[in-house]
Chains A and B, each alone.
Chain A
Amino acid sequence: MTNMNPYVPFASEILDVIKHTGKEYTFRMAFKGEVKPGQFFEVSIPKFGEAPISVSGIGDGFVDLTIRKVGRVTNEVFEKYKGQNLLLRGPYGNGFDVDLYKDSEVVVVAGGTGVSPVRGVIQALSEMPDAQDKYVIAGFRSPDDMLFRDDLKAWDEKLKLTLTVDGAPEGYTGNIGLVTKYIEGLPLRDPANAKAVVVGPPPMMKFTIIELQKKGFKDSNITVSHERKMCCGLGKCGHCRVNDTYICLDGPVFNYEFAKNFVD
């Protein structure tokens, strides 16, 4: 059989490797085709397995995959160098609709590797004419865990960026505190009509949404992205299902008005 089989991965060349931290690298992978921020690929390493990884950047002839080294598959990915191939299948999932965020106040709250799936969204926001109405609150565990340092600098010049860390060694001059701390003080003109994007670990998403609600955000104006165990990305293996929703097919990006009914 041929590439008609959706389980058969394709080879993609590693065009570049960008090292953010000791265990978080961005792999720039050769790719031509339609893809949106928030979608994901299955990185498929024969004899080791597959891991769903979000698209963290999209460009002419490439996609970026920002990967944290945590286990069997991701360890193996970190053994690869520029010029070698990785096997991929995808893209899967719905992705973000960036047009939703035109002409309104927008707040993106992202934690840790949660910044990856929204990097493309933030990029687009920073290029909008009303970039001064776009707020980004990005949180990392410590100054050493920061991803996309160059991007952060560039974004800071165009839109309103709050960068924070959970904890830092003595002498650190930046913000220290959880992302939730910075929502109350956002100088929004019209929170009831402002839009928000929240991506990160489940507890971070939960408490961020509570803060946004307090601030006056409507549930229907909040977009979230979910992660679950995924073995296929195709709606077959069942692992990602919540209620009657398949995160891999119907998501991973959801309107919170809908996603608030998820019960695992």
Chain B
Amino acid sequence: MGYVLTKAGFAEVIASLLEEYRIFAPVRKVGAGRFTDVDAVIYDEIRSADEIELEAKSDYASKEFLTPLSETLFYFTENEVKESDFDGRPVLVFGRSCDLHSLKRLDQIYLENGLAKDPFYKRRRDLIKCVLIGCGHSYDNCFCVSMDSNKCEDGYVFSVDLIDGKIHSNILDESFDKAFSAVSGSEKKDVIPRFVTENDVKVEIPEEVPQGIIKSELWDEYTTRCINCGRCNFVCPTCTCYTMQDVFYSDNGRVGERRRVGASCMVDGYTDVAGGGQYRRKNGERMRFKVLHKISDFKKRFGYQMCVGCGRCDDICPEYISFSNIINKVNAASKEVKS
């Protein structure tokens, strides 16, 4: 069941949903991109439908609401530890198929790895419902078809495709039907969200990455090319790492807070231990650690690939390093190591 409606009609739908939900969606920030003359598409809370960027692929992934770059866990006063307050209103998050597929990976770590469920993640996770943005075509660097994340059968409440100025929405959660049917001029119609069936970029991942790849020379190139800025991790929809950070505000240090902030295995400090110990000093080694997490180590533990093929790491890298390219190099080298 679905609807076709005008942009104005869709604006009405969003306005009515905003009465109940906070909505996080991709929005365009002029001139904030990889280079100053390029826009950035980031995630933000929106107040109206016209803020939502439905055409361009976002630079950042939809995880921004679930795992904010910085989140306060506790406030400390002189004799009290207080859990941070939390806005408990329900949330809609717009995302593409790759984004929706990434949720399973985030859940895997925060809810399923180890016995404890992460309560700060869970309280956000429990609030969200997803809205699928259909993909009418593949974007630069996308390889979702290779990663089997190009299509969503479920996991969203309704979909949005902007086709020739009209919004096409498939409704999976009937409780959203009334927001659409209430709009004058909305046309009831069977809608199938668009998805891509082919990308220009294709990767092949070896079923099992041989141990010998770890010592391969293919990583050496990145020791000099990569500047360990970590952007590839921060835009990645499946990166979950964080670092704990305690701070105090006032000069006398009586009050403060404990935060967690997004961490990157490419950035200095990720492995530092007391006494000056550090693992993976070379950027090439860090690249190996990151790449093998995405296409091998996660799968060994959980049974499916971590990478969803969104290509955002390639979009953002200031050194034009291509992750998909590296995957294919690993694949070629794996065949060599084996034979």
Q: B100 interface residue, CB < 8 Å from A? A: no
Cβ–Cβ < 8 Å partners of B241 in chain A: 237-239
Q: How far is the CB of B252 from chain A (nearest CB, A)?
A: 11
- Decide if B300 is an interface residue (CB 8 Å cutoff): yes
Any chain B CB within 8 A of the CB of A100?
no
A263: nearest chain-B partner, CB-CB: B214
- Does the CB pair A229–B109 fall under 8 Å? no
Chain A residues whose CB sits within 8 angstroms of the CB of B222 once the complex forms: none
| A263→B210 CA distance, assembly (Å) | 13
CB neighbours (8 Å) of A1 from chain B are 83, 119
A122 CB → nearest B CB, Å: 23
- Once the chains bind, are A235 and B113 in contact (CB under 8 Å)? yes
Which A residues, 1 to 20, have Cβ-Cβ distances below 8 Å to chain B?
1, 4-9
In the complex the two chains form, is A229's CB within 8 Å of B119's CB?
no
Residue B32 at the A interface, CB < 8 A? no
Considering the complex, give the chain B residue whose CB is closest to the CB of A73. B246
Which residues of chain B come closer than 8 Å to A46, judged between CB atoms? 74, 76, 81, 246, 256, 258
The interface-forming segment of B6-14, B125-133, B267-275 is: B267-275
For A74, the chain B residues whose CB sits under 8 A away are 274
Q: Measured between C-beta atoms, what is the minimum distance from B189 to chain A in Å?
A: 44
Point out the residues of chain A lying under 8 angstroms from B113, CB to CB: 235-236, 246, 249
Can you list, as one digit per residue, whether each of A198-239 has a CB less than 8 Å from chain B (1) or not (0)?
000110000000000000000000000001110110111111
Asked if B114 and A70 sit within 8 Å, CB to CB, the answer is no
Rounded to whole Å, the gap between the CB of B111 and the closest CB of chain A is 10
Q: Which of B111-144 contact A (CB under 8 A)?
A: 113-114, 116, 118-121
Q: Can you name the residue of chain A whose Cβ is closest to the Cβ of B247?
A: A47
Question: Are A237 and B114 touching (Cβ within 8 A)?
Answer: no
CB of A43, distance to nearest CB on chain B (Å): 12
- A49-84 to B contact mask, C-beta < 8 Å, 1/0: 111000000000000000010110010000000000
A264, CB-defined interface residue at 8 Å: yes
Contact of A47 among B256, B292, B296, B298 (CB under 8 A): B256
Taking a contact as CB atoms under 8 Å apart, the answer to whether B242 and A5 are in contact is no
Interface bits B73-84 vs A (CB < 8 Å: 1, else 0): 110100001010
Q: Which of A49, A231, A243, A248 contacts B297 (CB 8 A)?
A: A243
Closest chain A residue, CB of each to CB of B248: A47
Report the separation of the CA atoms of residues A246 and B149 in the bound assembly, to the nearest whole angstrom: 26
Q: Which residue of A lies closest to B300 (CB)?
A: A244
Give the shortest distance, in Å, between A88 (CB) and chain B (any CB): 13
Q: Are A71 and B274 touching (Cβ within 8 A)? A: yes
A47-B76, A47-B247 known; A238+B240 contact, CB < 8 A? yes
Q: B282-299 vs A: 1/0 string, CB under 8 Å? A: 000100010011001110
Chain B residues touching A, majority SS: mixed
Decide if B119 touches A7 in the complex (CB within 8 Å). Answer: yes
Contact B256 A5 (CB under 8 A): no
A85 → chain B closest CB, angstroms: 11
Given contacts A234-B116, A237-B263, A239-B241, contact A70 B256 (CB under 8 A): no
Q: Across the two chains, which residue of chain B brings its CB closest to A42?
A: B244
B301 within 8 A of A: yes
Asked if B265 and A238 sit within 8 Å, CB to CB, the answer is yes
**Selected contact of B244 from candidates A50, A241, A248, A261, CB within 8 Å:** A50
Q: A236-B109, A264-B280 are known contacts. Are A246 and B76 too (CB-CB below 8 A)?
A: no
Contact A70 B242 (CB under 8 A): no
B244 with A246: CB separation less than 8 A: no
Question: When the two chains form their complex, are residues B270 and A229 in contact, meaning their CB atoms are under 8 A apart?
Answer: yes
Inter-subunit contact A237/B244 (CB<8 Å): yes
Q: CA of A5 to CA of B111 in the docked complex: distance in angstroms?
A: 13
Residues of B close to A202: CB separation below 8 A:
277
The answer to whether B83 touches A231, judged by C-beta atoms less than 8 angstroms apart, is no
**A5 contact from B109, B119, B265, B274, Cβ within 8 A:** B119
Question: What string of 1s and 0s marks CB contacts (under 8 Å) between A105-130 and chain B?
Answer: 00000000000000000000000000
- Report which A residues bind B (CB closer than 8 A): 1, 4-9, 45-51, 68, 70-71, 74, 87, 201-202, 227-229, 231-232, 234-239, 241, 243-244, 246, 248-249, 261, 263-264
Q: Could you jot down 25 A-B contacts, CB within 8 Å?
A: A5-B119, A7-B119, A7-B120, A8-B81, A45-B246, A50-B246, A74-B274, A202-B277, A228-B273, A229-B271, A231-B243, A234-B118, A235-B113, A236-B110, A237-B241, A238-B240, A238-B265, A239-B271, A241-B297, A244-B296, A246-B113, A263-B214, A264-B271, A264-B279, A264-B280
Known: A49-B246, A241-B297. 13 other contacts (CB 8 A): A46-B74, A47-B248, A48-B246, A50-B244, A70-B274, A201-B275, A227-B273, A228-B271, A236-B118, A237-B263, A238-B109, A238-B241, A264-B279
